[in-house]
């Protein structure tokens, strides 16, 4: 059984004391493919060092996270562009719009999101979208940029059925993580109406740990809990969930 974590921040400071053990536990659980999103320039060295240390099955993305879009966003974008020219990445991510913490830089977030989507299309790369309290704003830009070259993952999908169908219409897979195990997560109520071919698994470690670890540090080994919940929702077994979602991840990332 091969499980794929399509979104995990394993270079985070939260893993500095036991990163090797975290990787061991993940692999022992069947999680052998790790897709690692960027945040901003302050994390690039950490991310590259992580890839160097644990190279097998580790795939890096490059992009500017919406919560890192501040006054210096032009410098950050220049850093992303420079890195994309320097070495290969499997996706542009994570990118998008986040209006949960702060709406001050909405205009800049929209500009940065659009720019990075255009770079992804030029480089024939998928995008990985971060969307928090911003479905309308994200969909507005996806509508402008839609086409054969637009594809990717709607990371940490927490919307409703209508929003799920809309995301899929833009060639997006739905990244399903720990929220699907929460009592108030809601997505478990309609997910069976979405074909498994549109689903990929993720942890977003160290954030959003699934039940029974909710509130604690998340890690890639816990992907099995998410897979088990999906097996329950789709009335199948975890091996089938692993097989289909890993196949879907290969379709998105090409690896």
Please say whether the dihedral angle defined by the alpha carbons of residues 37, 198, 27 and 14, taken in this order, is positive or negative.
positive
Residue 43 has pLDDT above 90, yes or no: yes
Residue-level pLDDT at 101: 86
85-114: average pLDDT: 96
CA distance 249 to 7: 11
Q: What pLDDT does 102 receive?
A: 87
- Across the chain, what does the average pLDDT equal? 97
> Where is average pLDDT lowest: 12-21, 23-32, 99-108?
99-108
Q: Give DSSP secondary structure letters for 100-126.
A: SS--TTHHHHHHHHHHHHHHHHHHT--
pLDDT surpasses 90 at 185? no
Share of the chain above pLDDT 90, in %: 98
Task: Note the pLDDT of residue 191.
Answer: 96
With tokens 């220049």, the residue in question is 78
Q: What is the pLDDT of residue 86?
A: 94
Relative orientation angle of helices 106-123 and 73-86, to the nearest 10 degrees: 10
Work out the average pLDDT over 65-85.
97
- Mean pLDDT in residue range 94-117: 96
Mean pLDDT of 142-167: 97
Topology, domain 3-253: TIM Barrel (3.20.20)
Q: Is 38 a residue whose pLDDT tops 90?
A: yes
Indicate whether 99 pLDDT > 90: yes
Provide the pLDDT confidence category of residue 42 given band limits of 50, 70 and 90.
Answer: very high
What local confidence, expressed as pLDDT, does residue 82 receive?
97
In this model, does residue 204 exceed pLDDT 90? Answer: yes
């Amino acid at each position: 059984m091969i499980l794929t974590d399509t979104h995990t921040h394993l270079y985070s400071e939260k893993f500095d004391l036991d990163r090797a053990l975290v990787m061991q536990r993940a692999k022992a659980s069947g999680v052998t493919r790790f897709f690692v999103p960027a945040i901003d320039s302050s994390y690039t060295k950490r991310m590259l060092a992580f890839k160097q240390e644990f190279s097998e099955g580790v795939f890096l993305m490059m992009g500017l996270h919406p919560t890192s879009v501040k006054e210096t966003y032009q410098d950050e974008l220049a850093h992303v562009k420079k890195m994309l020219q320097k070495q290969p990445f499997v996706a542009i991510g994570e990118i998008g719009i986040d209006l949960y913490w702060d709406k001050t830089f909405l205009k800049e977030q929209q500009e940065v999101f659009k720019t990075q989507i255009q770079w992804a299309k030029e480089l024939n790369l998928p995008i990985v979208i971060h969307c928090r309290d911003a479905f309308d704003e994200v969909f507005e830009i996806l509508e402008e940029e839609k086409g054969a070259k637009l594809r990717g993952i709607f990371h940490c999908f927490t919307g409703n059925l209508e929003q799920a169908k809309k995301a899929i219409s833009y060639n997006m897979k739905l990244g399903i993580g720990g929220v699907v195990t929460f009592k108030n997560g809601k997505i478990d109520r309609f997910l069976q109406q979405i074909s498994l071919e549109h689903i990929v698994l993720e942890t977003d470690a160290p954030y959003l740990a699934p039940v029974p670890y909710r509130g604690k540090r998340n890690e890639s080994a816990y992907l099995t809990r998410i897979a088990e919940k999906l097996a329950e929702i789709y009335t199948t077994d975890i091996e089938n969930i692993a097989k289909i979602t890993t196949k879907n991840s290969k379709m998105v990332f090409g690896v």
